[in-house]
Structure 1
Amino acid sequence: MIEVRRRVHARTEDVYAVLTDGWSYGLWVVGAVHIRRVSSDWPRVGSTIEHSVGAWPLMIEDRTVVEENEPGRMLQLRAHAGPGGTARVRLELTPDGTGTTIRMTEDAVAGPGRLIPVPVRAPLLKLRNAESLARLAALARGRPDRPERP
């Protein structure tokens, strides 16, 4: 699994609240551009987000499924990317004093993505996921129900 970490100046509850808002997925996940449907019970195990990835006119209809969920602590997803294959993404949240450390791991688990050697795909995933965590952090810090910012 390819790993990226980020310390966020936001409460763990605020970070998890963004993760549990399936409609926000397109705001923080790099590549997800259009959310079509979110299961009403997101993020229960088995629930889905249907979204598109890519840029018009070359968009792929995609879906992400919750594999595991430990509320406030961890969310594991299986992201399907049409003909590109499937990836497992795990987000772990650890409170650390005045903020939260987010650990995001991802790797291809099926399809052509597995054929790309790890030394080639790792740097690309790290860059993409570092940007995703920066966006997630900004959303968590900006939550309107947050009483004050550290």
Structure 2
Amino acid sequence: MLTAEVTVPVPPEQAFAPLADGWLYASWVVGASHIGAVDPGWPAVGSRIHYRFGLWPVLISDTTVVRAVDAPHRLELEARLWSVGAASIRLTLTATDAGHTRIRMIERAVRGPARWVPGPAQDLVFAARNQESLDRLADVIRARAQNH
């Protein structure tokens, strides 16, 4: 299973903070273009982000829901993919040396036709997108660290 990964120069609590702010979702998730609403209590299990993905003028509304959380170490999401189904996304944050955090992301299709695609083929589809998402998340984390 291919895993996207970045390391950021902050402890897990600081690295998790942007994940805990649902309004920042579109700033780091590739494809998400507009946040319409974030359920109160995000990222509590069952809470949702309501967003649009795509490029204007073709925007599709959907949701991402929290399936599990162990802040600041793990966040598991289920992102709906319109008629294509849904994907399970696991983000894990691990403290490394000298106040750094390694963030890993794994994504798998769990509903719809895409779930029948073999894992290695899913890796090819998701790998570059997930690495770009984590690179964007790392930029958000670094910018927030500089401003605090």
* Fold match (TM-score > 0.5): yes
TM-score (norm 1): 0.91
Contact preservation (8 Å) 1:35, 1:51: yes
Q: Write the letter of the residue equivalent to 1:87.
A: A
Are the counterparts in 1 of residues 18 and 141 from structure 2 also a CA contact under 8 Å? yes
Identity in percent: 42
The answer for unaligned runs of 5 or more in structure 1 is none
Q: CA RMSD in A?
A: 1.6
> Structure 2: where are the runs of 5+ without partners?
none
Q: Provide the C-alpha distance between the structure 2 equivalents of 1:112 and 1:53, rounded to a whole number of angstroms.
A: 19
Shift of 1:144: 5.2
Q: How does 1:41-80 map to 2 (within 5 A)?
A: 41-80=41-80
1:15 Cα deviation (Å)?
Answer: 1.2
The one-letter amino acid of 2:92's match is E
The answer to whether 1:110 aligns with 2:108 is no
Count the aligned residue pairs.
Answer: 147
1:25-60 CA distance string (max 9 Å, x none): 000000000100001110000000000111122221
SS in structure 2 of the partner of residue 24 of structure 1? helix
**Displacement of 1:95 after TM fit?**
0.6
Deviation above 2 Å: which 4+ runs of structure 1? Answer: 115-121, 144-147
Higher mean displacement: 43-52 or 108-117: 108-117
CA contact (8 A) 2:53 2:61 kept: yes
Task: Give the alignment of 1:7-22 within 5 angstroms.
Answer: 7-22=7-22
Contact 1:7 1:100 in 2 (8 A): yes
